Amino acid sequence: MLNFRGYGYLGVKSISNDLKKLTLTDPKDCVFEVFLNLNLDSTPFRYYHVIKNYTYLNCSVNLLESIEPVPCLSGSKHHVYVVESSLNVPGSCEVVKTVLIPFAYTSYVSDDSFGLDLTWDSSGFKDFVEEKSFWSVEEELSMAILVFVVVGLGCVKMHSLKKSHRNEHELETFYTSLHCDLETL
C-alpha cells in the first residue's frame, strides 16, 4: 500500500522497473475518485499514459446516452460525469473540477486498475524519500530519550517493588520472632 497525501492509500498491483511502471488499485474501487483527488505534484510519480484536461460535472438530470455517469460518484438525485473540457456545460450541471487524467469515463474503462498506471523519475526519489521519511533525526533522538526514560522509570519501579517486598518479608519475620519471644515470656 502507498499513502498519497490528499487521497489516502492505494494498493500496489505490480511494479516494472524496466518500463518504470507502477500499477495501483483503489481499495474503494472508484478509480475516477482517485483521479479527482490524487495530486502527484509533490511525488516523483506521473501518469504512465498520455493525459489531457477532463472536467467533472455534477448534474441533477441524466445527460445524453452517449455520455455515461460514473456510478461510484453518482447517486439517485445527482449524476457525475467526466467529460472533455471543451464540452459546453449544460444548465442542469455544475463544474466540480477540471483535472489532467488519462481518459474520460466509459463502462469499458471502469475496471479499478485501468489507468492507475504511474511512471517515475528516478532522480526525484531521493527528495521524495527524504521528505516523506517517517521521523526526522530530532524526532528519532527525542523518541530514543523517551524510551530511555520510560525504561529507566520501569527499572526504578521494579527495584522499589522488590525492596518493598523485601521490607515486608523482613517485617513479617520480625513480627513472627517477636510473637514467639512474647509467647515464651
Confidence of residue 116 (pLDDT cuts 50, 70, 90): confident
Q: Tell me what pLDDT residue 59 has.
A: 93
Please tell me whether residues 28 and 54 are part of one structural domain: yes
Per-residue pLDDT tens for 61-112? 888 777 889 999 999 899 999 998 888 888 889 999 999 998 888 776 665 5
Please tell me whether residues 175 and 122 are part of one structural domain: no
Please tell me whether residues 102 and 175 are part of one structural domain: no
150: containing domain: 136-185
Cell of 86: 471543451
Please tell me whether residues 107 and 163 are part of one structural domain: no
Please tell me whether residues 59 and 25 are part of one structural domain: yes
Please tell me whether residues 72 and 90 are part of one structural domain: yes
C-alpha–C-alpha distance, residues 4 and 21, integer Å = 17
Please tell me whether residues 67 and 104 are part of one structural domain: yes
C-alpha–C-alpha distance, residues 154 and 161, integer Å = 11
Q: What is the DSSP track for 105-156?
A: --GGG-STTTT-EEEE-HHHHHHHHHHT-SS-HHHHHHHHHHHHHHHHHHHH
Cell of 173: 519475620
Per-residue pLDDT tens for 130-175? 444 444 444 454 554 544 444 445 455 665 666 666 666 665 665 5
- The count of domains in the chain is 2
Please tell me whether residues 122 and 158 are part of one structural domain: no
Q: Tell me what pLDDT residue 174 has.
A: 55
Q: Tell me what pLDDT residue 43 has.
A: 87
Please tell me whether residues 28 and 116 are part of one structural domain: yes
Please tell me whether residues 116 and 141 are part of one structural domain: no
Query: Which among 88, 107, 131 is the end of a domain?
Result: 131
Least confident residue range of 17-21, 173-177, 178-182: 178-182
Please tell me whether residues 24 and 40 are part of one structural domain: yes
Q: What is the pTM of this model?
A: 0.61
Please tell me whether residues 107 and 158 are part of one structural domain: no
